[in-house]
Amino acid sequence: MPRQILLALRLITALFALLQPATAGPERVAILGDSITYDGRWPTRVEAALLATPPFSDAEIVDFGIGSETVSGLSEPGHAGGKFPRPCLHERLERILNAFHPTLILACYGMNDGIYLPLDATRFQAYKDGIENLKTAADRHHARIIFITPPLHNADKPATDPNRYDAVLDTYGDWLVSRRADGWQVIDIRPDLKKAVAAEKSKNPAFLYANDNVHPGDEGHRFIAESVTRQLWPILKLPGTPAVPGNDAYAILRRRSEILKLAWLTKTRHLRPGIPAGLPVEEGESQAAKLMEEYKAAK
C-alpha cells in the first residue's frame, strides 16, 4: 500500500477516535427544587429506588434543593420577614453544572413561583421563562433533564375557588405537561397526589398531607416518590419495579444524602441564609462512601 494512503488512513482513524464520546462513567444525578426537595425525604426514596437498578447502582445522586427557591426570580415583599428575598435557581445554576457535571437532572419547581397569589400573566411568564432557561442550560451542558410538576397546595382542604393557589399550580403543571409535544420529558405528579390524598382520607379522615398547606409530611413525601419513580422507570427504560428498602437502610441513606447535600450546596456557594455549612466535598464523599457500605449491608 502506498505510504501516502497508509498515512491518510491512519489520520482518518485517529480523527475518528477523537470524535467518539469518552467511555461513559457512573451516572451523576442532580435533584433541583425548593424546600420540599431540600427536605430530602422524597429525593432519598427516589435515590434508593434508582440505586437498586444496574444502570444507577454506582450513581452519585445529590439533592441540590434550596428552601424558598424559584426558577422565576420572583419574590414577594417582606419574604422571610424582610430578611432576604427568595433565592433564584439561575443565580447558582451554572456553578452547579460546572462543578457537579450532572448527566441527569430532576427538577421540581413551581410551588414558590406564583408567590402564593392568584394566577397572573406576568408571574406565569416568569415561571415559563425560568423553566425554558433551565432547559437551555441543561442542554448546553449535555445533561438530560426531566421536569416534575409542582406538588399540591392546600390538599387537605381542597376548594373550588378559581383563584385558589392550587389552581395556579394546576396551570403551571398543565403547561409543563404540554411541553412533552416539544420532546420534553415531564413527570406529572399532581393527579397521583390528588388520588393518594383522597384514598388516604377515605381510610382515615384525620389524615393530613401538609400541616401548613405546603410542606408534606412523611406520607406526602412517599406519595411524591412513588409517583416520580412510577413515571421515571419507563422514561429511563429501567428494569423491574421501583422499590425502597426498609427503615434501617433508608435511615442510613438519609444520613448519607444529607452529608452530600450540604457539602455540594456549600461548594457551589448558594446564597440562601439558614442552611448549615457542609463539609468539604472530598471529606463528605469519604463519609458518604462509608455510609454506602453500611447501607448495602443493611438492605
Closest CA to 106 of 220, 217, 236: 236
The pLDDT, as a whole number, for residue 234 is 98
> 162 pLDDT band (50/70/90 cuts)?
confident
Instruction: Kindly indicate whether the domain formed by 25-298 is annotated with CATH number 3.40.50.1110.
Output: yes
What's residue 20's pLDDT?
A: 40
pLDDT for position 114: 98
The structure's pTM equals 0.91
Residue 54 near residue 26 (C-beta atoms within 8 A): no
Per-residue pLDDT of 250-275, as tens digits, reads 999 999 999 999 999 999 999 999 99
Which run of H or of E encompasses 148?
strand 144-148
pLDDT score of 233? 98
Average pLDDT over residues 110-126: 98
For the cut 60, the answer to whether the pLDDT of residue 150 exceeds it is: yes
Between residues 125 and 17, the one the model is more confident about: 125
User: Is 127 in contact with 71 (CB distance < 8 Å)?
Assistant: yes
Residues with Cβ within 8 Å of 164's Cβ and at least 6 positions away in sequence, in order, are 153, 154
Q: How does pLDDT run across 26-44, given as a tens digit for each residue?
A: 999 999 999 999 999 999 9
Percentage of the chain modeled with pLDDT above 90: 87
The predicted pLDDT at position 4 comes to 54
Chain segment 91-108, per-residue pLDDT in tens: 999 999 999 999 999 999
Element (H, E) at 219: helix 218-236
What is the rounded average pLDDT for all residues in the chain? 93
Q: Is the pLDDT of residue 136 over 70?
A: yes
Residue corresponding to grid cell 441513606: 253
Burial 83-96 (b: 16+ CB within 10 A, else e): eebbbbbbebbeeb
Q: What is the pLDDT of residues 191-243, one digit of tens each?
A: 999 999 999 999 999 999 999 999 999 999 999 999 999 999 999 999 999 98
Looking at residue 209, what DSSP letter applies? S
CA distance 215 to 213: 6
pLDDT score at 244? 85
159 has which bridge partners? Answer: none
| Model pLDDT, residue 142 | 98
pLDDT the model gives residue 163: 85
| pLDDT for position 247 | 86
Kindly state the DSSP code that residue 88 receives in the 8-state scheme. B
The answer to whether the CB of 65 falls within 8 A of the CB of 32 is yes
